[in-house]
Amino acid sequence: MRTYLDWNATTPLRDEVKAAMRDGMEIVGNPSSVHSEGRAAKMAMERAREQVAAALGAEGADVIFTSGTTEAAAMVLAGRGVHCAVVEHSAVKVWCEQDLAVDSNGIVSVPDPARASLQLANNETGVIQDLPQGLGSSDLTQAFGKVPFAFNWLGITAGFVSAHKLGGPKGIGALIVKRGTDVEAMIRGGGQEQGRRGGTENLLGILGFAAAASAAQRELEAGLWDEVAARREALEDRLLAAAPGAIVAGKAVKRLPNTTCLLTSGWKGETQVMQMDLAGFAISAGSACSSGKVRASGVLQAMGFDDKAAQSAIRISISPALGDDQVNRFADAWESAYSRWRDRNG
Ligand SMILES: Cc1ncc(COP(=O)(O)O)c(C=O)c1O
């Protein structure tokens, strides 16, 4: 039996999502067609758009369906000379001047919010940022569904989300913009999405996204993520007690309730990921692998960790679908791997 502890990377489809997509398979029409089949497809899509907007607290804002955050970010950032910090996901970073300062907790200073992009929560550490009013754009991908927020109250112009982080399908997401914001289409062609994103819409993906967004909203309102936070705290207490030299990145500041980024300097993150995989647990390493060369995480380096510490990072990210038992079994497995490593490196 495998235990999946990598919910920040992606999530399994929720049952409600599968049901919504299965129902959607019966829809025949193209949302742009004027006949009854087309109007039925359009109606289902617009209902889904309202559901996504409601879950995001973005009623009255424009929800433009895209293939996910990467596309949404490109639409508003490409060629604009926007500023960001190196802690951003590469989907944002690739378009920006990466010159904003980051402190040892991963908190970013934003001198000119209108010309900046700042993530609400970091995918590696879970660190949550207070977004300054008037911020140009924010990557909301990791925060959506895990912590309550309302787009309408964040005071930002644009936000990016991906459905697969909250139990929806992969390859669908949205760009959310304040109504009336000028957004030039990147993918041109038909006039879909008010001329801002050409191409026949991914209706099945959209229906799955809406079901995921509503389910996530209900879960948050029911307080299930408070239980996740308590479970995560208990896990960190155990791991830090077993490995007194270990560090949890960002532990001193507000974080997502489900994320632990653990550094055990000297013990390679990749090694830990492989050992845990063999023991039946999926976690991820906090370092990025590019062209066969393992690099330390830029996020952790920006927070002041040296290469050896940064390369030891693992990320454990849980969800309300996991119980105490699964998390405890992971802690057991990690602790015994740690004591073997410590005995060898003593
Ligand atoms: C914070 C953050 N931004 C952007 C992305 C990219 O999302 P997608 O690959 O769905 O476009 C991810 C997911 O990997 C993420 O965690």
Q: What is the pLDDT of residue 296?
A: 81
User: Which of the residues are catalytic?
Assistant: 289
On whether both 45 and 139 belong to a single domain, the answer is yes
- Is any ligand 1 atom within 6 A of the Cβ of residue 124? no
Boundary of a domain, candidates 221, 241, 268: 221
Which two three-digit tokens encode residue 331? 């802690």
- Is any ligand 1 atom within 6 A of the Cβ of residue 275? no
Task: Say if CB 7 and CB 144 are below 8 A apart.
Answer: no
Rounded Cα gap, residues 144 and 123, in angstroms:
12
Give the number of other Cβ atoms within 10 Å of residue 222's Cβ: 11
Q: What is the pLDDT of residue 290?
A: 54
Which two three-digit tokens encode residue 107? 């908190």
Rounded Cα gap, residues 102 and 303, in angstroms:
7
On whether both 211 and 244 belong to a single domain, the answer is no
Specify the CATH number for the domain of residue 158: 3.40.640.10
On whether both 136 and 112 belong to a single domain, the answer is yes
- Is any ligand 1 atom within 6 A of the Cβ of residue 123? yes
Which two three-digit tokens encode residue 320? 């309300």
Helix axes 203-221, 15-24, angle to 10 degrees: 150
Rounded Cα gap, residues 250 and 248, in angstroms:
6
Specify the CATH number for the domain of residue 245: 3.90.1150.10
- Is any ligand 1 atom within 6 A of the Cβ of residue 141? yes
Residue type, 271: T
Q: What is the pLDDT of residue 295?
A: 75
Pairing of strands 173-177, 259-263: unpaired
- Give the distance (Å) from ligand 1 centre to CA of residue 341: 33
pLDDT tens per residue across span 286-296:
766 555 556 78
Boundary of a domain, candidates 176, 199, 221: 221
- Give the distance (Å) from ligand 1 centre to CA of residue 88: 10
On whether both 227 and 216 belong to a single domain, the answer is no
Number of domains making up the chain: 2
pLDDT tens per residue across span 102-127:
999 999 999 999 999 999 999 999 99
On whether both 334 and 193 belong to a single domain, the answer is no
Boundary of a domain, candidates 197, 221, 245: 221
Using most ligand atoms within 8 A of CB, pick from 67, 69, 93, 160 the residue to mutate for ligand 1: 69
pLDDT along the chain (346 residues), means of 10: 97 98 98 98 98 98 98 98 98 98 98 98 98 98 98 98 98 97 94 96 98 98 98 98 97 98 97 98 80 76 97 98 98 98 90
* Residues of the domain holding 232: 3-8+223-345
Q: What is the pLDDT of residue 103?
A: 98
**Which ipTM did the prediction report?**
0.99
On whether both 180 and 237 belong to a single domain, the answer is no
Which two three-digit tokens encode residue 314? 């693992």
- Give the distance (Å) from ligand 1 centre to CA of residue 309: 24
